[in-house]
Structure 1
Amino acid sequence: MSPSNRDNAVAFLKQMTKVTSALKGFMRQKFKENNINITFEMLQVLRYLWEKESVNQQEIANAIIKDKASLTYLIDNLVGRNLVQRTEDSQDRRNKIITLTPAGKELAAMIQPWVEEMYDLVAKSGTLEELETGLQLFKNIHQNLQKKG
Protein backbone atom coordinates (compact mmCIF):
# COMPACT_ATOMS: atom_id res chain seq x y z
CA MET A 1 0.00 0.00 0.00
CA SER A 2 1.35 3.43 -0.88
CA PRO A 3 2.21 5.76 1.99
CA SER A 4 -0.37 8.36 0.90
CA ASN A 5 -3.12 5.72 0.77
CA ARG A 6 -2.16 4.50 4.25
CA ASP A 7 -2.08 8.12 5.49
CA ASN A 8 -5.57 8.64 4.07
CA ALA A 9 -6.76 5.43 5.73
CA VAL A 10 -5.39 6.65 9.08
CA ALA A 11 -7.04 10.06 8.62
CA PHE A 12 -10.30 8.36 7.59
CA LEU A 13 -10.33 6.17 10.71
CA LYS A 14 -9.58 9.14 12.95
CA GLN A 15 -12.47 11.03 11.36
CA MET A 16 -14.73 7.99 11.78
CA THR A 17 -13.87 7.98 15.50
CA LYS A 18 -14.77 11.69 15.70
CA VAL A 19 -18.11 11.05 13.99
CA THR A 20 -18.92 8.19 16.37
CA SER A 21 -18.05 10.41 19.32
CA ALA A 22 -20.19 13.25 17.91
CA LEU A 23 -23.19 10.92 17.48
CA LYS A 24 -22.89 9.79 21.09
CA GLY A 25 -22.42 13.38 22.22
CA PHE A 26 -25.52 14.50 20.32
CA MET A 27 -27.67 11.96 22.17
CA ARG A 28 -25.96 12.55 25.55
CA GLN A 29 -26.80 16.25 25.22
CA LYS A 30 -30.46 15.45 24.52
CA PHE A 31 -30.52 13.12 27.55
CA LYS A 32 -28.95 15.78 29.76
CA GLU A 33 -31.33 18.54 28.59
CA ASN A 34 -34.29 16.29 29.40
CA ASN A 35 -32.98 14.70 32.62
CA ILE A 36 -32.91 11.21 31.16
CA ASN A 37 -30.49 8.99 33.02
CA ILE A 38 -29.30 6.56 30.38
CA THR A 39 -26.12 6.10 28.36
CA PHE A 40 -25.70 5.80 24.61
CA GLU A 41 -25.00 2.08 25.08
CA MET A 42 -28.26 1.66 27.00
CA LEU A 43 -29.99 3.46 24.13
CA GLN A 44 -28.64 0.81 21.74
CA VAL A 45 -30.35 -1.91 23.78
CA LEU A 46 -33.58 0.06 24.05
CA ARG A 47 -33.69 0.86 20.33
CA TYR A 48 -33.34 -2.81 19.49
CA LEU A 49 -36.18 -3.65 21.87
CA TRP A 50 -38.34 -0.83 20.46
CA GLU A 51 -38.16 -2.66 17.14
CA LYS A 52 -38.43 -6.24 18.44
CA GLU A 53 -40.36 -5.81 21.71
CA SER A 54 -39.24 -9.05 23.41
CA VAL A 55 -36.04 -11.00 22.63
CA ASN A 56 -33.41 -13.14 24.28
CA GLN A 57 -30.25 -11.60 25.62
CA GLN A 58 -27.96 -13.26 23.07
CA GLU A 59 -29.93 -11.82 20.14
CA ILE A 60 -29.49 -8.33 21.57
CA ALA A 61 -25.76 -8.93 22.12
CA ASN A 62 -25.34 -10.03 18.50
CA ALA A 63 -27.38 -7.13 17.13
CA ILE A 64 -25.58 -4.36 19.00
CA ILE A 65 -22.19 -6.09 18.93
CA LYS A 66 -21.61 -6.37 22.68
CA ASP A 67 -20.12 -9.25 24.61
CA LYS A 68 -22.30 -11.09 27.10
CA ALA A 69 -20.74 -9.50 30.20
CA SER A 70 -21.15 -5.95 28.85
CA LEU A 71 -24.73 -6.62 27.84
CA THR A 72 -25.57 -8.14 31.24
CA TYR A 73 -24.28 -4.95 32.89
CA LEU A 74 -26.35 -2.76 30.53
CA ILE A 75 -29.50 -4.80 31.09
CA ASP A 76 -28.98 -4.78 34.87
CA ASN A 77 -28.88 -0.98 34.70
CA LEU A 78 -31.98 -0.83 32.50
CA VAL A 79 -33.82 -3.16 34.90
CA GLY A 80 -32.78 -0.89 37.77
CA ARG A 81 -34.27 2.07 35.89
CA ASN A 82 -37.50 0.10 35.32
CA LEU A 83 -37.10 0.35 31.53
CA VAL A 84 -36.82 -3.40 30.81
CA GLN A 85 -37.59 -6.64 32.59
CA ARG A 86 -35.89 -10.01 32.45
CA THR A 87 -37.86 -13.26 32.45
CA GLU A 88 -36.93 -16.90 31.97
CA ASP A 89 -37.46 -18.44 28.57
CA SER A 90 -40.17 -21.11 28.87
CA GLN A 91 -38.23 -23.27 26.38
CA ASP A 92 -34.84 -22.95 28.07
CA ARG A 93 -34.48 -21.63 31.64
CA ARG A 94 -30.85 -20.63 30.96
CA ASN A 95 -32.08 -18.11 28.39
CA LYS A 96 -33.38 -14.76 29.57
CA ILE A 97 -36.05 -12.90 27.63
CA ILE A 98 -35.74 -9.12 27.77
CA THR A 99 -38.95 -7.11 27.45
CA LEU A 100 -39.72 -3.42 27.61
CA THR A 101 -41.68 -2.14 30.58
CA PRO A 102 -44.39 0.49 30.10
CA ALA A 103 -41.79 3.11 31.12
CA GLY A 104 -39.41 1.74 28.45
CA LYS A 105 -42.12 2.07 25.81
CA GLU A 106 -42.93 5.60 27.01
CA LEU A 107 -39.27 6.58 26.70
CA ALA A 108 -39.30 5.46 23.05
CA ALA A 109 -41.89 8.11 22.21
CA MET A 110 -39.71 10.79 23.77
CA ILE A 111 -36.36 9.72 22.30
CA GLN A 112 -37.38 8.65 18.79
CA PRO A 113 -37.70 12.23 17.47
CA TRP A 114 -34.12 12.95 18.61
CA VAL A 115 -32.86 9.85 16.83
CA GLU A 116 -34.68 10.97 13.69
CA GLU A 117 -33.15 14.46 14.05
CA MET A 118 -29.69 12.88 14.30
CA TYR A 119 -30.33 10.78 11.18
CA ASP A 120 -31.56 13.86 9.32
CA LEU A 121 -28.37 15.73 10.21
CA VAL A 122 -26.30 12.83 8.91
CA ALA A 123 -28.39 12.63 5.73
CA LYS A 124 -27.79 16.36 5.06
CA SER A 125 -24.04 15.74 5.16
CA GLY A 126 -23.81 14.48 1.60
CA THR A 127 -25.64 13.58 -1.55
CA LEU A 128 -27.39 10.25 -1.96
CA GLU A 129 -24.48 9.05 -4.09
CA GLU A 130 -21.90 10.13 -1.50
CA LEU A 131 -23.77 8.37 1.28
CA GLU A 132 -24.12 5.21 -0.84
CA THR A 133 -20.40 5.31 -1.63
CA GLY A 134 -19.60 5.80 2.05
CA LEU A 135 -21.84 2.90 3.00
CA GLN A 136 -20.12 0.66 0.49
CA LEU A 137 -16.73 1.75 1.81
CA PHE A 138 -17.75 0.82 5.38
CA LYS A 139 -18.98 -2.56 4.15
CA ASN A 140 -15.66 -3.16 2.36
CA ILE A 141 -13.65 -2.19 5.44
CA HIS A 142 -15.76 -4.50 7.59
CA GLN A 143 -15.32 -7.41 5.16
CA ASN A 144 -11.56 -6.89 4.98
CA LEU A 145 -11.26 -6.83 8.75
CA GLN A 146 -13.51 -9.89 9.13
CA LYS A 147 -11.31 -11.87 6.73
CA LYS A 148 -8.23 -11.12 8.82
CA GLY A 149 -9.92 -11.63 12.19
Structure 2
Amino acid sequence: MAPSDLFATFMDAVPLTGSAFRAYLRRRFRDYHLDLTLEMMQVLHYLWGHDGVSQQEIARAANRDKATMTAMLDNLVRRDLVERRADLHDRRTNRVVLTPKGQALEQQVKPLVAEMFGVAGQGVAPDQLRTCLDVLTKITKNLTPPEK
Protein backbone atom coordinates (compact mmCIF):
# COMPACT_ATOMS: atom_id res chain seq x y z
CA MET A 1 0.00 0.00 0.00
CA ALA A 2 1.37 3.42 -0.94
CA PRO A 3 2.16 5.77 1.99
CA SER A 4 -0.58 8.19 0.93
CA ASP A 5 -3.13 5.34 0.82
CA LEU A 6 -1.99 4.12 4.23
CA PHE A 7 -2.30 7.65 5.60
CA ALA A 8 -5.80 8.02 4.14
CA THR A 9 -6.84 4.66 5.65
CA PHE A 10 -5.45 5.72 9.03
CA MET A 11 -7.31 9.04 8.93
CA ASP A 12 -10.55 7.27 7.91
CA ALA A 13 -10.17 5.02 10.97
CA VAL A 14 -10.06 7.95 13.41
CA PRO A 15 -13.72 9.04 13.05
CA LEU A 16 -14.81 5.38 12.85
CA THR A 17 -13.22 4.81 16.25
CA GLY A 18 -14.98 7.89 17.62
CA SER A 19 -18.28 6.58 16.28
CA ALA A 20 -17.68 3.21 17.92
CA PHE A 21 -17.02 4.95 21.26
CA ARG A 22 -20.23 6.99 20.91
CA ALA A 23 -22.30 3.92 19.96
CA TYR A 24 -20.91 1.89 22.86
CA LEU A 25 -21.67 4.61 25.40
CA ARG A 26 -25.08 5.26 23.86
CA ARG A 27 -25.94 1.55 24.39
CA ARG A 28 -24.63 1.55 27.97
CA PHE A 29 -26.39 4.82 28.81
CA ARG A 30 -29.63 3.36 27.40
CA ASP A 31 -29.11 0.17 29.48
CA TYR A 32 -28.91 2.34 32.61
CA HIS A 33 -31.69 4.73 31.51
CA LEU A 34 -29.30 7.70 31.37
CA ASP A 35 -30.54 10.45 29.06
CA LEU A 36 -27.09 11.62 27.94
CA THR A 37 -25.02 11.95 24.80
CA LEU A 38 -21.25 11.50 24.66
CA GLU A 39 -20.87 15.25 24.21
CA MET A 40 -22.97 15.98 27.30
CA MET A 41 -20.94 13.43 29.25
CA GLN A 42 -17.72 15.18 28.18
CA VAL A 43 -19.02 18.48 29.54
CA LEU A 44 -20.12 16.83 32.79
CA HIS A 45 -16.76 15.06 33.07
CA TYR A 46 -15.00 18.40 32.79
CA LEU A 47 -17.30 19.93 35.41
CA TRP A 48 -16.74 17.03 37.82
CA GLY A 49 -13.14 18.20 37.96
CA HIS A 50 -13.71 21.96 37.49
CA ASP A 51 -17.12 22.85 38.89
CA GLY A 52 -18.11 26.51 38.59
CA VAL A 53 -16.02 27.44 35.55
CA SER A 54 -17.15 29.80 32.82
CA GLN A 55 -19.10 28.67 29.80
CA GLN A 56 -16.18 29.83 27.62
CA GLU A 57 -13.71 27.63 29.52
CA ILE A 58 -15.93 24.58 29.04
CA ALA A 59 -16.25 25.35 25.32
CA ARG A 60 -12.46 25.56 25.01
CA ALA A 61 -11.92 22.34 26.96
CA ALA A 62 -14.56 20.46 24.94
CA ASN A 63 -13.37 21.97 21.66
CA ARG A 64 -16.84 23.33 20.88
CA ASP A 65 -17.96 26.70 19.53
CA LYS A 66 -20.04 29.08 21.66
CA ALA A 67 -23.36 28.33 19.93
CA THR A 68 -22.95 24.56 20.27
CA MET A 69 -21.93 24.90 23.91
CA THR A 70 -24.90 27.17 24.67
CA ALA A 71 -27.31 24.60 23.22
CA MET A 72 -25.62 21.74 25.07
CA LEU A 73 -25.73 23.60 28.37
CA ASP A 74 -29.40 24.44 27.74
CA ASN A 75 -30.03 20.68 27.46
CA LEU A 76 -28.09 19.99 30.65
CA VAL A 77 -30.05 22.74 32.47
CA ARG A 78 -33.36 21.21 31.26
CA ARG A 79 -32.21 17.85 32.65
CA ASP A 80 -31.44 19.56 36.01
CA LEU A 81 -27.76 18.51 35.79
CA VAL A 82 -26.22 22.00 35.75
CA GLU A 83 -27.27 25.57 36.38
CA ARG A 84 -25.87 28.86 35.17
CA ARG A 85 -24.96 31.48 37.72
CA ALA A 86 -23.83 35.02 37.05
CA ASP A 87 -20.19 35.59 37.98
CA LEU A 88 -20.01 37.73 41.10
CA HIS A 89 -17.21 39.88 39.64
CA ASP A 90 -18.36 40.04 36.01
CA ARG A 91 -22.10 39.86 35.33
CA ARG A 92 -21.44 39.26 31.62
CA THR A 93 -19.91 35.88 32.47
CA ASN A 94 -21.89 32.81 33.41
CA ARG A 95 -20.45 30.20 35.75
CA VAL A 96 -21.69 26.65 35.20
CA VAL A 97 -22.34 24.76 38.41
CA LEU A 98 -23.33 21.13 38.84
CA THR A 99 -26.63 20.48 40.58
CA PRO A 100 -26.83 17.70 43.18
CA LYS A 101 -28.30 15.50 40.44
CA GLY A 102 -25.35 16.33 38.16
CA GLN A 103 -22.88 15.58 40.94
CA ALA A 104 -24.55 12.25 41.72
CA LEU A 105 -24.45 11.22 38.07
CA GLU A 106 -20.66 10.97 38.28
CA GLN A 107 -21.00 7.76 40.31
CA GLN A 108 -23.07 6.17 37.53
CA VAL A 109 -21.16 7.43 34.48
CA LYS A 110 -17.51 7.01 35.46
CA PRO A 111 -17.73 3.21 35.87
CA LEU A 112 -19.36 2.94 32.43
CA VAL A 113 -16.56 4.98 30.85
CA ALA A 114 -13.94 2.88 32.65
CA GLU A 115 -15.69 -0.26 31.39
CA MET A 116 -15.64 1.10 27.83
CA PHE A 117 -11.92 1.83 28.03
CA GLY A 118 -11.33 -1.69 29.33
CA VAL A 119 -13.29 -3.24 26.47
CA ALA A 120 -11.70 -0.94 23.89
CA GLY A 121 -8.20 -1.58 25.23
CA GLN A 122 -8.34 -5.38 25.05
CA GLY A 123 -5.19 -6.56 23.29
CA VAL A 124 -3.80 -3.03 23.01
CA ALA A 125 -0.48 -2.48 24.80
CA PRO A 126 0.19 0.86 26.54
CA ASP A 127 3.16 1.51 24.21
CA GLN A 128 0.84 1.10 21.21
CA LEU A 129 -1.48 3.75 22.66
CA ARG A 130 1.48 6.07 23.29
CA THR A 131 2.60 5.62 19.67
CA CYS A 132 -0.90 6.37 18.35
CA LEU A 133 -1.15 9.43 20.58
CA ASP A 134 2.27 10.62 19.38
CA VAL A 135 1.21 10.16 15.75
CA LEU A 136 -2.10 12.00 16.20
CA THR A 137 -0.35 14.81 18.08
CA LYS A 138 2.22 15.15 15.30
CA ILE A 139 -0.49 15.19 12.59
CA THR A 140 -2.41 17.86 14.51
CA LYS A 141 0.74 19.94 14.89
CA ASN A 142 1.56 19.54 11.19
CA LEU A 143 -1.90 20.74 10.18
CA THR A 144 -2.15 23.61 12.68
CA PRO A 145 -0.84 26.95 11.41
CA PRO A 146 1.82 28.52 13.60
CA GLU A 147 0.65 31.24 15.96
CA LYS A 148 1.65 34.76 15.03
TM range (shorter): over 0.9
Match of 2:37 in 1: 39
Q: Which amino acid aligns with 2:121?
A: A
Match of 1:115 in 2: 113
Residue of 115, 124, 127 corresponding to 1:126: 124
Matches within 5 A, 1:20-39: 20-39=18-37
Match of 1:51 in 2: 49
How far off its partner does 1:16 sit? 1.0
Partner Cα distance (1:88, 1:21) in 2: 36
How far off its partner does 1:122 sit? 3.2
* Structure 1 unaligned regions, length at least 5: none
SS in 2 for 1:98: strand
Partner Cα distance (1:85, 1:94) in 2: 16
How far off its partner does 1:121 sit? 2.5
Q: Which amino acid aligns with 2:98?
A: L
SS in 2 for 1:147: coil
Partner Cα distance (1:42, 1:109) in 2: 16
Q: Which amino acid aligns with 2:69?
A: L
**Which structure carries more helix by proportion?**
1
1:4 aligns with 2:2: yes
How far off its partner does 1:96 sit? 0.4
Match of 1:102 in 2: 100
Aligned residues: percent identity?
36
Match of 2:138 in 1: 140
For residues 101-127 of structure 1, the C-alpha deviation after alignment (integer angstroms, 9 at most, x for no partner) is 000011110011011112223333421
Partner Cα distance (1:4, 1:57) in 2: 45
Moved more, 33-42 or 91-100: 33-42
Partner Cα distance (1:125, 1:73) in 2: 38
Match of 1:67 in 2: 65
Q: What value does the CA root-mean-square deviation take over the aligned residues?
A: 1.6
* Structure 2 unaligned regions, length at least 5: none
